[in-house]
Structure 1
Amino acid sequence: MKNQLTILLFFLLSAFSFSQNAEVKGTITDNSKTKLFSVNISIKNTTKGAQTNENGEFQISNILNGDYLLSVSYLGYKTKEISISIKNNEILNLGNITLYEGNEILNEVVIEGERTNKFSRKKTAYVAKLPLKDIENTQVYSTITNELLASQLVTNFDDALKNAVGVDQLWASTGRGGDGAGYYALRGFSVQPQLVNGLPGLTNGTINPANIERIEVLKGPSATLFGNAVSSYGGLINVVTKKPYVGTGGELSFTSGTYGLNQIFGDFNTALSKEDNLYFRLNTAYTTEQSFQDAGFRKSFFVAPSLSYKVSNKLSFSFYGEITQAEQTNPTFLFLNRSAPTEAKDLKELGYNNKLSFTSNDLTLENPNQNYRIEMDYKLSDTWQSQTLLSKSSTSTKGYYSYLFEYGILGNDTFTRFISKQNANTQTTDIQQNFIGDFKIASLRNRVVIGLDYFNATSTDNSTGYAFYGNITPEGGANGDNPFTSEVEDDLYPLSTAGVDGFLESQAVGNNKSKYHIYSLYVSDVINLTDNFSAMMGLRLDRFDNEGDITSPDDDYKQNAISPKFGLLYQPIKDKLSLFGNLQNGFNNVAPQLVGNPEDGPQQLETFKPERANQIEFGIKTNFFKNRLNATISYYDIKVKDRVIQDPDSPFNRIQGGEVESKGVEFEINANPIKGLNIRAGYSNNESKTTKTDDPLILNKRPLEAGPKTLYNFWANYEFQEGKLDGFGIGFGFNGASDRFVKNYTTTGNFIIPSYTVANASVFYQANKYRIGLKLNNAFNKEYYKGWSTINPQTPRALIANISYKF
């Protein structure tokens, strides 16, 4: 009997083994026959999948007999689905499979397996508005992946941007009307994050990282493809959100930490109809956090629904939304006065007690915010596709906003508080129509985007004026002496809504509404002159129509602008090493101004052409060792001209003669030298100065918006791959900056914020379904500051714990 059972078991195991020895294999290339590495291949409705090797080859083994649908997906390419039938345990060779480049819609399919270089994802359809690999793009950009953010337990947008080379916070999100989002220095110029999935998206508060797939920081003037409404001369920041994918899954996560941090996060993806290729994804987060100071908090609820519908192989639709309800106290920066001497020259002389907030939790701002986008993609032919995009944004501010300003009248480093009750709203609409082509003329490959763009912004402001509300000294003193009255006063100024409302009763409430429109046509073409040598050429025609105050035609004006772009790129080693150079352009619309001596009669309104910036840049990009070493080294020189200044021959005239120069070097490396170890490092050095101006205070000085001259960042993360420590990992990194001027004027003095280096460390355990992590931010409890004519203290040492479960 025992022998019979053994024989029966042997036959059963043999039959089971033989029933699963079938396999499918093939090779993946693009339409130029270039073999694609790390392409995802999955068998739908199973857990079977694979990725292509460096030769573009894949193999999926142990497949049961039956009929299947094979899904082939690669970021920036159109997903291809292939029906296969496995019979008689055969080895099915599909031969060569060609993927065609296209935009990112729902096709970031996730399969089991290890992706190399998790901190770098340098293929995107947004940077060039074309599906272009980084190594063949003449523009420099940094990407911050969600894997990098997860390894650092990032809970806010400011910490996420510390991973971008050459980016530094100027001041935190204030939540105030109009420009309440955070400001950042980039290549010597200030910029705010105003782009979501390549389209305008407003955020008066901070952006919630719960829905971030990656952040793309484009370097240099980028008006040719994106216009001037969402970019600066230093570049722009694009947030790429999470999108639906084929399958069902999700994640639940809870994070808690020092200073009252608690965040619960959920991510859920499912098919609403598999037969109709209709998929839905929902990301949501609720966050509460207090301040390290004596007062201050922020709480927010965030929800992001998204929907993808693939009607056919030619037509697909997508919808994305982000809805935030937030309430916070605004950070009360110390504003330094450029027009009056500052008594203190640095923090030691100032005697600043940075644990004081000079506000209360009774004075808050509410920041409801919504962003919505609809996308329709239609394949016109094998070489052309149509992309229609609609973006709507709305952001509001309601509540109390205050700031502290150094008038230099009362002495003893006294700062005067001003407060307003905010009630403002900004709404934007953007409509784009893009035609994207990939074709050959003679033997030259052309990748082209031709686009039409309409942008509208409408702002409504019903806020009160700013009222004097007492004085403070940085060490904690307070008095009620109004610097604008001759008598010495000692009134009380309680930091409560009742107290503030009483003082604001005498302030007028604004009734302001303004509007502007931008109409644009742009074209960009990447021409492969040879397999290794390409040129990029682009041009934008821009029509700016400013209505200003809609009740008055006096401030209306219109301007036309042309923005060119050109680049050359040579790959000595195809897809591994490229040498590039570019000429990029940015512009800014200039409002008309009154000129002429009033004694000679009425002044005349004079119009000006747009202010311009041109960048020359060259450098090297690498992609070595099967995508394990990505590096970019570049040198840039940006010259801004045509700034409106006072005519040196007449104080009543204005001319376009102001100039600013910003130049520097940047270096970024993303490496995966061995399995489990990922490294990211960056260094930047920027030289900026105002070279021509009518303001002697700033001539040949570094602009305050330029931030620190030197910035550097590093993060390394290692996860053990085998043995008793399998699944355990550690992370370590640091960020640093040179000292910076937050006041730098010839006659009224300087104020310097010192340099800093802040270290961070983490430990974690990661299993198949869950992850537990601990992160120590500012490990050595460094006291450091940031600012832009302001002094803004940063968070001391903080411990963060996280547990997450994937399903």
Structure 2
Amino acid sequence: MKHFVAFILFFSMGCYAQAQKVKGVITDNAQNALVGVSVMIKNHEIGTQSDEKGYFELSGVPEGEHVLLVSSVGFKTKELPFQAIKGSVDLKGIILFEGDEILREVVVSGERDNKFSRNETAYVSKLPIRDFENTQVYSTITNYLLQSQIVTNFDDALKNAAGVDNLWTSTGRGGDGAGYFTLRGFSVQPKLVNGLPGLTNGTINPANIERIEVLKGPSATLFGNAVSAYGGLINVVTKKPYIGTGGALSFTTGSYGLNQLTADFNTPLSKEKQIYFRLNTSYATQQSFQDAGFRKSFFIAPSLSYQVNNRLSFSFYGEITQAEQTNPMFLFLNRAAPTKAKNLEELGYNNKLSFTSNDLSLKNPTQNYRVEMDYKLSDRWQSQTLVSKSNTSTKGYYSYLYDLGVFDTVTFTRFVNKQNASTQTGDIQQNFIGDLKLGALRNRVVIGLDYFTATAISNNSGYAFYGNVTPQGGANGDYPYTAAVEDTAYPLSTSGVDAALSTQPVGNSKTQYETFSVYASDVINFTRRLSGMVGLRLDRFNNRGDLDTSDDDYNQTTLSPKFGLLYQPVLGQVSVFANYQNGFTNVAPALVGNPDEGPQTFKSFKPEQANQLEFGIKTNLMKNKLNLTLSYYDIKVKNQVITDPTSIFNKIQGGEVYSRGFEVELNANPVKGLNIRAGYSNNDSETTKSDNEEILNRRSLDAGAKTLYNFWANYELPVGKLEGFGFGLGFNGSSERFAINYASTNEFILPAYTIANASLFYRASNYHIGLKLNNAFNKEYYKGWTTITPQTPRAILANITYNF
């Protein structure tokens, strides 16, 4: 207690020594008070937000000349020079004018006090509304949070979002090689960049991430089903050009051969024409903690903004990646027969073994490009045209280990193939965004048209048997489908694998589908405290399937609605919300009819539907220093195609799955320099109706663990001789989970775990030095989705960053 009191006195004296205050009131052009406007001192980490009356007050401002930065999504950023003298400075009325930044991000010098949260975004609702006004729940992972944790991979970044966990590490294979994550009881892959489709077959490079937005619940109404899942979607917001010149050079090194060099550079190409350019790039290499395995990548991301005039602006963003990796060797458990081991102890897994070699690798080149055009039609309406293109490829050797269940002991059979596949996507959106009054009601409206197309090309080889292994490291060449016992050698080399694949057929397929959509959403302010959201999407899906045949072609039309209500019992500080959200999946026709009675025929079906009911509370207390979101959701998936109980030759729509639970997420900045992030989720999931007895009345495997939790606290000394020194402490973990859970198999349960992490750092005006310890107690733990995947043991990272 004595140390705590001393700390408080020390902190108070430091603030008193810089007692100058700056205050003012922020309104729009109609003299309406603006709530939640960001107010920051340029080149200083001093900031706050306006309250419900538009009032703000900044304390601890050093004497001298400064520039005040005032910004809010949907308004033009304002810079106000002022001089801080003893006492207080009253800037009185500050007027913000609506600008052309509705769906573009503005990067400014200075930072919020609460650096782990960001309560405004234009992507989640395709409208400039703040989290506090939004009836949908979403988590935001800021760039500062990633920097404080020295995050070098996308999987670690998502540990900061409540209710999100990794199911399946990126394999690099064609089509779906990106990582899989569980979200509200359903699997999801990251497929959205800046609100537009952006695909990858590998992992996403964090060097160009400004923040990550995890939208919770079915989100097809605004984004469609191509990039969203029933549990939600993951949107990556990239770094963008800003006014001025600056950048950073950073080097990170660490355990298991990690070396990563990144650079960030921003400059005006023409100040007179307001053309700004930014370039982010990264080169990284890393080995595995196992006896083999590696990943290396080169990444470059150019971006350009051009403000033609007060009405028209253009933006260009690109991400180009060249990556090569060995695919992780999961242990696939048998999905149809009892496993001989029920847990890790019986399995006897030596997790230091990779069961592969560095000769067998996959290359994953990826390109994502986006062009945006914003045009101000009037004081109330904005036009935005968006075009995105993505291309991702896979070339090289892919292998996996599968328990066939045919040996007397626990044995996994290796299968290999040669990948040569690519996926291209294209998307065109036209949005009209309005902020207008109908009668006495304020309406913030988006009306959009969307065309999306995806083409997949596969020239993959077939899979060849390539020996067997035991979890302890034993190996044999006994081909499982013959009575004889073979003892063939299967070397882990390209020449050996090529010889085994020489008799395998090589595929030649090209598939394609496209979606035409129109959508609209309206946020209606009935009063200052009560608002509602209503949205609707009409989606026309055209599946061309294999372009060599028309047998798999089909079309479907879907309506996807969305509703929400939000009430602020304490204006600008507490909101209570409820929502109904929808998601859907297109279902291909199926052959039905008894073949003994004549030819079978195709039967069409309606799209599968997921409907969510959710309610909760959000807080924005202590001038954005305490943000809490608490929500309960209930998702029901229906219209799954199942076998008719009265005839095995017929299919009907009637399968159902439910997923319900609650989530808590906290972002707090109780005292200057201290930022806290915490999350907790509990999910209950079950298949309640299905023709598949294997999964009926059981928890879905892609639901992951029932309970997930995360915590990270970062403290930086704000004043004194040790100003800039700091430390971070945190943990993340989960309850036990099923690796396999079918009626005909034994349950294989992966145990619960808690992983502790810590960091030390020093931050100066132009540089930052940090040390990070991951998995501090060297915990052995696993994840899986019908698989068993060992996680990285203790690792130490060191980073140095120079800012200019």
TM-score range, shorter chain: over 0.9
Unmatched tracts of structure 1, length 5 or more: 1-22
Q: CA deviation at 1:35?
A: 3.1
Query: Where does 1:689-768 land on structure 2 (aligned, <5 Å)?
Result: 689-768=686-765
> Is the 8 Å Cα contact of residues 48 and 624 (structure 2) preserved in structure 1?
no
Instruction: Determine the structure 2 residue equivalent to 1:248.
Output: 245
Q: Amino acid of the residue matched to residue 33 of structure 2?
A: T
In the alignment, the residues of structure 1 paired with residue 338 and residue 62 of structure 2 have an alpha-carbon distance, to the nearest angstrom, of 75
Q: CA deviation at 1:488?
A: 1.4
* 2:547 counterpart of 1:550: yes
> Is the 8 Å Cα contact of residues 78 and 96 (structure 2) preserved in structure 1?
no
* 2:370 counterpart of 1:392: no
In the alignment, the residues of structure 2 paired with residue 776 and residue 50 of structure 1 have an alpha-carbon distance, to the nearest angstrom, of 30
Instruction: Determine the structure 2 residue equivalent to 1:561.
Output: 558
Instruction: Determine the structure 2 residue equivalent to 1:348.
Output: 345
In the alignment, the residues of structure 1 paired with residue 531 and residue 36 of structure 2 have an alpha-carbon distance, to the nearest angstrom, of 21
In the alignment, the residues of structure 2 paired with residue 270 and residue 52 of structure 1 have an alpha-carbon distance, to the nearest angstrom, of 28
- Select which of 258, 265, 268 maps to 1:268: 265
Q: CA deviation at 1:98?
A: 2.7
2:495 is paired with a residue whose SS is helix
RMSD (Å) for aligned C-alpha atoms? 2.2
Q: CA deviation at 1:376?
A: 0.2
In the alignment, the residues of structure 2 paired with residue 444 and residue 393 of structure 1 have an alpha-carbon distance, to the nearest angstrom, of 41
Instruction: Determine the structure 1 residue equivalent to 2:519.
Output: 522
> Is the 8 Å Cα contact of residues 778 and 793 (structure 2) preserved in structure 1?
yes
> Is the 8 Å Cα contact of residues 73 and 107 (structure 1) preserved in structure 2?
no
In the alignment, the residues of structure 2 paired with residue 578 and residue 25 of structure 1 have an alpha-carbon distance, to the nearest angstrom, of 26
Over 3 Å counting, the alpha-carbon distance change for 1:279 and 1:802 in structure 2 is same
Q: CA deviation at 1:723?
A: 2.4
In the alignment, the residues of structure 1 paired with residue 387 and residue 562 of structure 2 have an alpha-carbon distance, to the nearest angstrom, of 25
- Select which of 128, 131, 147 maps to 2:128: 131
In the alignment, the residues of structure 2 paired with residue 37 and residue 328 of structure 1 have an alpha-carbon distance, to the nearest angstrom, of 45
In the alignment, the residues of structure 2 paired with residue 215 and residue 567 of structure 1 have an alpha-carbon distance, to the nearest angstrom, of 23
- Select which of 109, 127, 130 maps to 1:111: 109
Q: CA deviation at 1:436?
A: 0.3
Instruction: Determine the structure 1 residue equivalent to 2:18.
Output: none
In the alignment, the residues of structure 2 paired with residue 723 and residue 671 of structure 1 have an alpha-carbon distance, to the nearest angstrom, of 23
Over 3 Å counting, the alpha-carbon distance change for 1:478 and 1:83 in structure 2 is closer
In the alignment, the residues of structure 2 paired with residue 126 and residue 393 of structure 1 have an alpha-carbon distance, to the nearest angstrom, of 19
Instruction: Determine the structure 2 residue equivalent to 1:19.
Output: none
Q: Deviations over 1:120-169 (max 9, x none)?
A: 00210000110111111000000000000000000000000000000000
In the alignment, the residues of structure 2 paired with residue 181 and residue 293 of structure 1 have an alpha-carbon distance, to the nearest angstrom, of 21
Q: Deviations over 1:17-39 (max 9, x none)?
A: xxxxxx99863224671334453
Query: Where does 1:133-532 land on structure 2 (aligned, <5 Å)?
Result: 133-532=130-529
1:162 is paired with a residue whose SS is helix
Q: Deviations over 1:552-602 (max 9, x none)?
A: 001000000000000010000111100000000000000001001100010
In the alignment, the residues of structure 1 paired with residue 750 and residue 81 of structure 2 have an alpha-carbon distance, to the nearest angstrom, of 65
Q: CA deviation at 1:440?
A: 0.4
Q: CA deviation at 1:484?
A: 1.6
TM-score calculated relative to the size of structure 1 = 0.93
Q: Amino acid of the residue matched to residue 449 of structure 1?
A: V
In the alignment, the residues of structure 2 paired with residue 615 and residue 638 of structure 1 have an alpha-carbon distance, to the nearest angstrom, of 4
Over 3 Å counting, the alpha-carbon distance change for 1:735 and 1:48 in structure 2 is closer
Instruction: Determine the structure 1 residue equivalent to 2:95.
Output: 97
Q: CA deviation at 1:313?
A: 1.0
In the alignment, the residues of structure 2 paired with residue 48 and residue 148 of structure 1 have an alpha-carbon distance, to the nearest angstrom, of 15
In the alignment, the residues of structure 2 paired with residue 107 and residue 705 of structure 1 have an alpha-carbon distance, to the nearest angstrom, of 34
Q: Deviations over 1:474-525 (max 9, x none)?
A: 1111111111222211111110001100111101111000000000000000
> Is the 8 Å Cα contact of residues 100 and 310 (structure 2) preserved in structure 1?
no
1:745 is paired with a residue whose SS is coil
Instruction: Determine the structure 2 residue equivalent to 1:625.
Output: 622
In the alignment, the residues of structure 2 paired with residue 345 and residue 25 of structure 1 have an alpha-carbon distance, to the nearest angstrom, of 65
Q: Amino acid of the residue matched to residue 259 of structure 1?
A: Y
Q: Amino acid of the residue matched to residue 760 of structure 2?
A: V
2:96 is paired with a residue whose SS is strand
Over 3 Å counting, the alpha-carbon distance change for 1:517 and 1:335 in structure 2 is same
Over 3 Å counting, the alpha-carbon distance change for 1:425 and 1:672 in structure 2 is same
Q: CA deviation at 1:721?
A: 1.6
2:146 is paired with a residue whose SS is helix
> Is the 8 Å Cα contact of residues 170 and 788 (structure 1) preserved in structure 2?
yes
Q: Amino acid of the residue matched to residue 310 of structure 1?
A: Q
> Is the 8 Å Cα contact of residues 590 and 602 (structure 2) preserved in structure 1?
yes
Q: Deviations over 1:388-431 (max 9, x none)?
A: 00000000000000000110002211111100100000000000
2:75 is paired with a residue whose SS is coil
Q: CA deviation at 1:95?
A: 3.2
Q: CA deviation at 1:101?
A: 7.0
Q: Amino acid of the residue matched to residue 231 of structure 1?
A: S
Instruction: Determine the structure 1 residue equivalent to 2:9.
Output: none
Instruction: Determine the structure 2 residue equivalent to 1:79.
Output: 76
* 2:612 counterpart of 1:615: yes
Over 3 Å counting, the alpha-carbon distance change for 1:791 and 1:32 in structure 2 is farther
Instruction: Determine the structure 2 residue equivalent to 1:120.
Output: 117
Query: Where does 1:44-83 land on structure 2 (aligned, <5 Å)?
Result: 54=51, 55-57=54-56, 73-80=70-77
> Is the 8 Å Cα contact of residues 50 and 58 (structure 1) preserved in structure 2?
no
Query: Where does 1:23-34 land on structure 2 (aligned, <5 Å)?
Result: 27-30=25-28, 33-34=32-33
2:747 is paired with a residue whose SS is strand
Instruction: Determine the structure 1 residue equivalent to 2:581.
Output: 584
Over 3 Å counting, the alpha-carbon distance change for 1:235 and 1:85 in structure 2 is closer
Question: Alignment length, in residue pairs?
Answer: 774
Query: Where does 1:528-539 land on structure 2 (aligned, <5 Å)?
Result: 528-539=525-536
Q: CA deviation at 1:341?
A: 1.1
TM-score calculated relative to the size of structure 2 = 0.93
In the alignment, the residues of structure 1 paired with residue 744 and residue 49 of structure 2 have an alpha-carbon distance, to the nearest angstrom, of 64
Instruction: Determine the structure 2 residue equivalent to 1:605.
Output: 602
In the alignment, the residues of structure 2 paired with residue 696 and residue 104 of structure 1 have an alpha-carbon distance, to the nearest angstrom, of 50
Q: Amino acid of the residue matched to residue 153 of structure 1?
A: I
> Is the 8 Å Cα contact of residues 118 and 147 (structure 1) preserved in structure 2?
yes
Q: CA deviation at 1:110?
A: 2.0
In the alignment, the residues of structure 2 paired with residue 346 and residue 48 of structure 1 have an alpha-carbon distance, to the nearest angstrom, of 50
Identity of aligned residues (%): 68
In the alignment, the residues of structure 1 paired with residue 22 and residue 332 of structure 2 have an alpha-carbon distance, to the nearest angstrom, of 66
> Is the 8 Å Cα contact of residues 76 and 101 (structure 2) preserved in structure 1?
no
In terms of Rg, which structure is larger?
1
> Is the 8 Å Cα contact of residues 401 and 421 (structure 1) preserved in structure 2?
yes
